[in-house]
């Protein structure tokens, strides 16, 4: 199956610049210019990656990201003229995988897309196919996680992080160790992405889990039984 990258930006020059580099890398490109069309395309097409602008003429990029995360776990790179810490953190909390401010290098964007696609498909070498801890079980073959037999909805990155902790219970891991194990050494983004992903996992497992991921301040995180 060909890799399809979807660009949602209201600036035609952005589409032209990015499309040229992505197609040179053998990646197909789909383009729209507003949020409503973006959501329609995401529901109707097999997309492997989204490049999303925040300042769209109808819905904001944040609104698009929030809605798409209800039905899609596809990797998202936010591309925006807004570059405050608040916007970057909000984008990551809503489920973006990376955030780049305009003006940008089209070559760098194309490289980041390929890196994120590579790491989202990769299973860390240390992971066995079946991992269990407390009342959690993870099947890396089917990429599913269950608590007491009931499947929990996780993005690929959330599942990989949870699998890492389940495979190393009671072990403190720093953000850098988590990034190296899950994302890989070629990760470009902010280490605070780890905090955001772990917060998402905590919300999703809170109800039935007999284990928890605790924060070791100034050091990292550890999974332990409750």
pTM score of the predicted model: 0.62
Confidence grade of residue 188 (pLDDT, cut at 50, 70, 90): low
pLDDT score of 189: 61
* pLDDT for the residue 184: 67
Read off the pLDDT of each residue in 194-217 and give the average, rounded to a whole number.
Answer: 92
Average pLDDT of the chain, as a whole number: 86
Each residue of 188-226: b (16+ CB within 10 Å) or e?
ebbeebbbbbbebbeebbeeebebebeeeeeebbbbeee
The residues near 219 (Cβ < 8 Å, ≥ 6 apart) are 172, 174
Tell me the pLDDT tens digit for each residue of 62-101. 999 988 888 888 889 998 888 788 888 888 888 888 888 8
Q: Is the pLDDT of residue 187 over 70?
A: no
pLDDT of residue 122: 55
Q: Which residue has the higher pLDDT, 152 or 3?
A: 152
The pLDDT of residue 198 is 93
Confidence band of 1 (pLDDT split at 50, 70, 90): low
Evaluate whether the domain defined by 4-121 bears CATH number 3.40.50.2300.
yes
CATH class of 130-225: mainly alpha
Give me the pLDDT at residue 31, please: 92
Q: What is the pLDDT of residue 92?
A: 81
pLDDT tens-digit series, residues 31-52: 999 999 999 988 888 888 999 9
CA dist., res. 208 & res. 175, Å (int): 26
Q: What is the C-alpha separation between 186 and 98, in angstroms, rounded? A: 13
Question: What is the DSSP secondary structure assignment for residue 163, as one 8-state letter?
Answer: H
Q: Is the per-residue pLDDT at 127 higher than 50?
A: no
Which residues of the chain does CATH 3.40.50.2300 include? 4-121
| Euclidean distance between CA atoms 83 and 1, whole angstroms | 35
pLDDT of residue 190 exceeding 60: yes
Position 143 scores a pLDDT of 83
Which range is least confidently modeled, 103-117, 149-163, 180-194?
180-194
Q: What angle do CA 220, 133, 219 make, to 5 degrees?
A: 5
Residues of the chain with CATH 1.10.10.10: 130-225
Task: For residues 197-225, give the mean pLDDT.
Answer: 93
Residue 186 has a pLDDT of: 56
- What is the pLDDT at residue 166? 94
> For residue 25, is pLDDT > 80?
yes
């Amino acid at each position: 199956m060909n890799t399809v990258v979807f660009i949602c930006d209201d600036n035609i020059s952005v589409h032209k610049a990015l499309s040229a580099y992505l197609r040179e890398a053998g990646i197909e490109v789909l383009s729209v210019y507003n949020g409503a069309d973006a959501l329609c395309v995401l529901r109707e097409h097999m997309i492997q990656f989204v490049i999303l602008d925040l300042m769209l003429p109808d819905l904001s990029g944040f609104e698009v990201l929030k809605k798409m995360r209800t039905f899609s776990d596809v990797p998202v790179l936010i591309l925006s003229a807004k570059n405050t810490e608040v916007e970057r953190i909000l984008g990551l909390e809503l489920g973006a995988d990376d955030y780049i401010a305009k003006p940008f290098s089209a070559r760098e964007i194309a490289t980041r897309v390929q890196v994120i696609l590579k790491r989202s498909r990769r299973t860390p070498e240390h992971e066995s196919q079946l991992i269990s801890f407390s009342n959690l079980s993870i099947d890396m073959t089917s990429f599913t996680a269950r608590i007491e037999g009931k499947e929990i909805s996780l993005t690929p990155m959330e599942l990989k992080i949870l699998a890492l902790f389940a495979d190393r219970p009671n072990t403190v891991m720093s953000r850098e160790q988590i990034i190296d194990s899950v994302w890989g050494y070629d990760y470009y983004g902010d280490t605070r992405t780890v905090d955001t992903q772990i917060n998402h996992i905590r919300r999703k497992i809170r109800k039935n889990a007999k284990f928890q991921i605790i924060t070791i301040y100034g050091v990292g995180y550890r999974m332990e039984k409750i």
